[in-house]
């Protein structure tokens, strides 16, 4: 199977919370990342979490990591239309290598 | 800070021609640069990793002679798609890593849309 898996689509209403989930396979991953890609653009690093942490919060973003289950999630509070984009989960390996999921397309409806 | 640019943003070329894409780190020196290819509705596929002054390391299945990578300085890497064919049409994204940092954070360029007719 794929190294990093994500569901492809998520649709929420403006003001609701969005939760994007990701599973990965490499238990030796040191950092896990969330990137945002807007149409026709490159990737923007949103946040990252060190593998020995359970949670990281940064303004509207909350990252939860369950290392035992190799499960990562990104919660966006008070989701806005400007949050509509593709969100990529990535695991960083010790050799500078990064593996990306296929991306979750978040659609925010007014 | 940590801005990466790519040029051109879009390019259309005829089959059989070569296309060069530039990736620049604008406000930092990048010890390592990465080239990715992204297919519609798919993830980024790492093509190669390049370190300044040395040969690029290509991922399995990526043709070295077709995708030439040059990393001449700490702020510039180029990807040349030689003898391009329609199947090479894709979105190519580069990234640059600061290196030496605990966090292997890659900063991505805005991407180059290549269309081969």
A67-79 pLDDT, tens digit each? 999 999 999 999 9
SS (H, E, C) chain A: CCCEEECCEEEEECCCCEEEEEEECCCCCCEEEEEEECCCCCEEEEEEEECCCCEEEECCEEEEEECCCCEEEEEECCCCHHHCEEEEEEEECCCCCEEECCCEEEEEEC
Check A98 against B6: CB less than 8 A apart.
no
Q: How many CB pairs under 8 A join A and B?
A: 54
A52 versus B15: the higher-pLDDT residue is: B15
- Looking at every residue in chain A, the average pLDDT score rounds to 90
The confidence score (pLDDT) of residue A75 equals: 98
SS percent in chain B: helix, strand, coil, step 5: 5, 50, 45
C-alpha span between B38 and B15 (Å, rounded): 20
The confidence score (pLDDT) of residue B45 equals: 87
The answer to whether residue A106 neighbours chain B at the CB level (below 8 Å) is no
Check B97 against A96: CB less than 8 A apart.
yes
CB of B115 closer than 8 Å to CB of B12: yes
Percent of chain A at pLDDT above 90?
65
A82 φ/ψ angles, rounded to the nearest 5 degrees: -70, -10
Residue tagged 């966006």 (tokens): A76
Check A100 against B97: CB less than 8 A apart.
no
A8-19 pLDDT, tens digit each? 899 999 999 999
The confidence score (pLDDT) of residue B30 equals: 85
The confidence score (pLDDT) of residue B99 equals: 63
Of B47, B46, B31, B32, nearest in space to B80 by CA: B47
Check A97 against B46: CB less than 8 A apart.
yes
DSSP assignment letter at B41: T
C-alpha span between B23 and B35 (Å, rounded): 9
A83-96 pLDDT, tens digit each? 999 999 998 876 56
Q: What is the mean pLDDT of residues A31-56?
A: 88
The answer to whether residue B112 neighbours chain A at the CB level (below 8 Å) is no
The 10 Å Cβ neighbour count of residue B7 is: 14
The answer to whether residue B32 neighbours chain A at the CB level (below 8 Å) is yes
Question: Pseudo-torsion of CA A49, A46, B111, B26, nearest 10°?
Answer: -90
Nearest CB among A4, A30, A42 relative to B109 is that of A42
The confidence score (pLDDT) of residue A28 equals: 78
Measured between beta carbons, the chain A residues lying within 8 angstroms of B113 are 40
Nearest CB among A31, A40, A44 relative to B104 is that of A31
The answer to whether residue B5 neighbours chain A at the CB level (below 8 Å) is no
Residue tagged 């149409």 (tokens): A39
| Ranges of residues in chain B whose predicted pLDDT is under 50 | none
The confidence score (pLDDT) of residue A1 equals: 47
């Amino acid at each position: 199977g794929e190294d990093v898996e994500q569901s492809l689509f998520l649709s929420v209403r403006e003001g609701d919370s969005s939760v994007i989930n990701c599973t990965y396979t490499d238990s030796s991953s040191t950092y896990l990342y969330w990137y945002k890609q807007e149409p026709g653009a490159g990737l923007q690093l949103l946040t990252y979490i060190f593998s020995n942490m359970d949670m990281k919060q940064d303004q509207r973003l909350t990252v939860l990591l369950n290392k035992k289950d190799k499960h990562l999630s990104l919660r966006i509070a008070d989701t806005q239309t400007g949050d509509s984009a593709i969100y990529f989960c990535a695991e960083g390996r010790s050799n500078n290598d990064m593996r990306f999921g296929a991306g979750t397309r978040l659609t925010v409806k007014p | 800070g940590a801005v990466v640019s790519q040029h051109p943003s879009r390019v259309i070329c005829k089959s059989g021609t070569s296309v060069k894409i530039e990736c620049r780190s604008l406000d930092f020196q990048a010890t390592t640069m990465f080239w990715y290819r992204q297919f519609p509705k798919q993830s980024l596929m790492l093509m190669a990793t390049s370190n300044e002054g040395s040969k690029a390391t290509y991922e399995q299945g990526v043709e070295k002679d077709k995708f030439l990578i040059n990393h001449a300085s700490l702020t510039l890497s180029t990807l040349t798609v030689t003898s391009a064919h329609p199947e090479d049409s894709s979105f190519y994204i580069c990234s640059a890593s600061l290196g030496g940092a605990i966090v292997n954070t890659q900063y991505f360029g805005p991407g180059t849309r290549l269309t081969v007719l």
